[in-house]
Amino acid sequence: MYRYDEFDRTFVDQRVAQFRDQVRRRLEGELSEDEFRPLRLMNGLYLQLHAYMLRVAVPYGTLSAAQMRKLAHIARRYDRGYGHFTTRQNIQYNWPKLSETPDLLDELAEVEMHAIQTSGNCIRNVTADQFAGVAADEIEDPRIYAEIIRQWSSLHPEFSFLPRKFKVAVTGATRDRAAVKVHDIGLFIRRNAAGEVGFEVVVGGGQGRTPMIAKTVRSFVEKRHLLSYLEAIMRVYNQFGRRDNKFKARIKILVHEIGIEEFTRRVEAEWAEIRDGVLDLPADEVARIHAYFAPPAYEPEGEAAATLARQRLSDPAFNAWVRSNAVAHKQPGYAIANISLKPEGGVPGDATAEQMDAVADLAEQYSFSEIRVTHEQNLVLPDVRQDALYELWQALDAQGLATPNLNLVTDIIACPGLDYCSLANARSIPIAQRLSRRFADLKRQHDIGELRIKISGCINACGHHHVGHIGILGVDRKGEEYYQITLGGSADEDAAIGKIIGPAFSSAEVVDALEAIVETYLRVRREGERFIDTYGRVGAEPFKEVLYAAA
């Protein structure tokens, strides 16, 4: 994975020193909270319902074992012994003290991490396919370009006070695991007719109160033009994005209001002025960063596959875990092992310091010291030999980390909701917990198959409810928590926004309603048909009937 050179190191150290001074000025009363707010936000520090929350960037979701160990240490030393992995592949700490945050950031800098641009109206931490570099369906590792974009966007002098926050995602695979089409800018690595590798650039996707699927502005941008093209888009957005209304300030609204043709025309005109200039990406810089993402020294396949097959036959519980949580690897003899952070009754994405330490140890032992964080709030050991999966599974099980539910009904995404967030209408976490108990039976979960439930505590949609196969949105009804259900959303290459099925349900009703939807699916599905495909075939009617017939 990428390692800092002296430029990167100096930059992050100087950033911490700058923040230390800002915190000092705040604590000494030289800065008011109003003046401090934009400064702390540019460093990922939020003021929540009960305390400060610090969001630490995990660039494109890749962590080393040493970094994970540091995150565990921070959870212990500065928080209450746990951390929360988010839908943007980051980690949040819910209880740090303001006066201690500079020290916390110093400790992060020791392992080449930071909290730069994890909030604020700037270009946020760039996300990428969690299986980058190990997926069989990949043209090139998207992290190379995510890292280039991370650097270019860090304290960008022109784009640090945008109309609104700005999210970029990159994938190099044909299957979109990074929800690329619901980002402000999405990059798909493509090969053109001449065999060259470049990017399809899509713009204007997003969730929130006006969910939209991104549209293509250019179907092929050569690598060397990546930064100039991005700068052209950002400049058009910075100048013309709406600033009169926070809810209309995302780039998706600009694209929607002036139309993709006019938007593209402006971007292309701007690009014509700046291309072939100082932003040209030198091939040696791409090669330099590429080298950091070279594959590790894989061992020959040997008996790995046969051993795994034997172990699966002899242990049904292990077999269930492999079936749901192990994914095909591009390298023969290896597997991608997914670690679910969605145990029965747990808080989606939470991990204790002990669990983080355990994952760090296991990464060292079984996965070339590398770990990934997924936007579904799970962890991944990307490079595990197939004949080591059994030992790994046992070790994970001992830590409560072997729940075999990846992409199943209890692999729920949930935002922090009213338990933490000051913007929330309703709680998200307790709904996720109740659902995970209701559907705890593993046999039933595997029978139901792939089903993605996503829960947001308000229309800001941090829990991605719009793109859940089943989405749950917390709404406020005369001071009571209610939940609106949407069906048919999808975050992958066939991205779609879910449709509201009908009136919202009370907190007491919502879990029964979910179960009724699932039962209906089981009744009407065809052999081998996923929930989302059944919904696509039969539409909303059968579900509506069951949910609202009595009323």
Partner 1 sequence: MPLLKDGRLVEDPWVPLADEDPVPKDGPVLVSLARWQAEREILRVRPAPVGVRLASDDSAEALADDLADVALVAVDFPAFADGRGYSTARLLRERYGFTGELRAVGNILRDQYLFLARCGFDAFEVSDARAPEAWRAAMAEFHNFYQPAADGYASIIALRHRRVAAAE
Least separation in angstroms between CB 275 and partner 1? 13
Least separation in angstroms between CB 32 and partner 1? 11
Decide: 72 and 353 in contact? Cβ < 8 Å: yes
Is 158 an interacting residue with respect to partner 1 (CB under 8 A)? Answer: yes
Query: From partner 1, ligand SF4, none, which one binds at residue 33 (CB under 5 to 8 Å depending on kind)?
Result: none
Instruction: Output 249 or 467, the one with its CB closest to partner 1.
Output: 249
Instruction: Output 211 or 241, the one with its CB closest to partner 1.
Output: 241
- Per DSSP bridges, beta strands 480-487 and 499-500 are antiparallel
Is 157 an interacting residue with respect to partner 1 (CB under 8 A)? Answer: yes
Least separation in angstroms between CB 41 and ligand SF4? 14
Instruction: Output 155 or 475, the one with its CB closest to partner 1.
Output: 155
Least separation in angstroms between CB 418 and ligand SF4? 7
Query: Distance between CA 119 and CA 97 in Å, rounded?
Result: 18
Query: Distance between CA 439 and CA 431 in Å, rounded?
Result: 12
Query: From ligand SF4, partner 1, none, which one binds at residue 416 (CB under 5 to 8 Å depending on kind)?
Result: ligand SF4
Instruction: Output 308 or 453, the one with its CB closest to ligand SF4.
Output: 453
Least separation in angstroms between CB 224 and ligand SF4? 38
Phi, psi of 160 (to 5 degrees): -100, -5
Q: Convert 15-46 to b/e letters by CB count within 10 Å (16 or more is b).
A: bbeebeebbeebeeeebeeeebbebbbbbbbb
Q: Angle, nearest 10°, between helix axes 541-548 and 507-524?
A: 140
Give the count of residues interacting with partner 1 (CB under 8 A). 40
Least separation in angstroms between CB 424 and ligand SF4? 3
Site string for partner 1, 135-154 (x = CB under 8 A): ----------------xxxx
Phi, psi of 125 (to 5 degrees): -50, 130
Decide: 438 and 486 in contact? Cβ < 8 Å: no
DSSP 30: S
Query: From partner 1, ligand SF4, none, which one binds at residue 244 (CB under 5 to 8 Å depending on kind)?
Result: none
Least separation in angstroms between CB 150 and partner 1? 9
Instruction: Output 129 or 231, the one with its CB closest to partner 1.
Output: 231
Q: Looking at 18-26, 329-337, 385-393, 417-425, which segment touches partner 1 (CB under 8 A)?
A: 18-26
Least separation in angstroms between CB 285 and partner 1? 5
Query: Distance between CA 95 and CA 102 in Å, rounded?
Result: 14
Instruction: Output 151 or 460, the one with its CB closest to partner 1.
Output: 151
Among the listed residues 90, 121, 311, 377, the single contact to partner 1 using CB under 8 A: 121
Site for partner 1 in 267-286 (CB under 8 A): 273, 278-279, 281-282, 284-285
Query: From ligand SF4, partner 1, none, which one binds at residue 458 (CB under 5 to 8 Å depending on kind)?
Result: ligand SF4
Instruction: Output 357 or 376, the one with its CB closest to ligand SF4.
Output: 376
Query: Distance between CA 285 and CA 303 in Å, rounded?
Result: 39
Is 35 an interacting residue with respect to partner 1 (CB under 8 A)? Answer: yes
How many other C-beta atoms can be found within 10 angstroms of the C-beta atom of residue 384? 26
Rg (CA), the chain: 23
Least separation in angstroms between CB 282 and partner 1? 5
Query: From partner 1, ligand SF4, none, which one binds at residue 461 (CB under 5 to 8 Å depending on kind)?
Result: ligand SF4
Query: From ligand SF4, partner 1, none, which one binds at residue 216 (CB under 5 to 8 Å depending on kind)?
Result: none
How many other C-beta atoms can be found within 10 angstroms of the C-beta atom of residue 358? 21
Closest CA to 349 of 80, 153, 88: 88
- DSSP SS3 for 406: coil
Phi, psi of 202 (to 5 degrees): -115, 150
- What are the percentages of helix, strand and coil residues in the chain, rounded to 5? 45, 20, 40
Whole-Å CA distances, 17 to 12, 22, 23, 43: 9, 9, 10, 12
Query: From partner 1, ligand SF4, none, which one binds at residue 5 (CB under 5 to 8 Å depending on kind)?
Result: partner 1
Among the listed residues 45, 162, 485, 513, the single contact to partner 1 using CB under 8 A: 162
Decide: 173 and 141 in contact? Cβ < 8 Å: no
Least separation in angstroms between CB 90 and ligand SF4? 13
Query: From ligand SF4, partner 1, none, which one binds at residue 548 (CB under 5 to 8 Å depending on kind)?
Result: none
User: Which helix H or strand E contains 413, and what residues bound it?
Assistant: strand 413-414
How many other C-beta atoms can be found within 10 angstroms of the C-beta atom of residue 534? 20
Least separation in angstroms between CB 119 and ligand SF4? 12
For 195-209, the three-class secondary structure string (H helix, E strand, C coil) is CCEEEEEEECCECCC
Contacting residues toward ligand SF4, per CB under 6 A: 415-417, 421, 423-424, 456-458, 460-463
DSSP string of 521-537, one letter each residue: HHHHPPTT--HHHHHHH
Query: From partner 1, ligand SF4, none, which one binds at residue 423 (CB under 5 to 8 Å depending on kind)?
Result: ligand SF4
Is 507 an interacting residue with respect to partner 1 (CB under 8 A)? Answer: no
Query: Distance between CA 78 and CA 59 in Å, rounded?
Result: 22
Query: Distance between CA 317 and CA 390 in Å, rounded?
Result: 11
Is 17 an interacting residue with respect to partner 1 (CB under 8 A)? Answer: yes
Instruction: Output 267 or 408, the one with its CB closest to partner 1.
Output: 267
Query: Distance between CA 10 and CA 15 in Å, rounded?
Result: 8
Interacting residues toward partner 1 by CB under 8 A:
5, 7-8, 10-11, 14-15, 17-18, 21-22, 35, 38-39, 121, 151-163, 235, 238-239, 243, 273, 278-279, 281-282, 284-285, 288
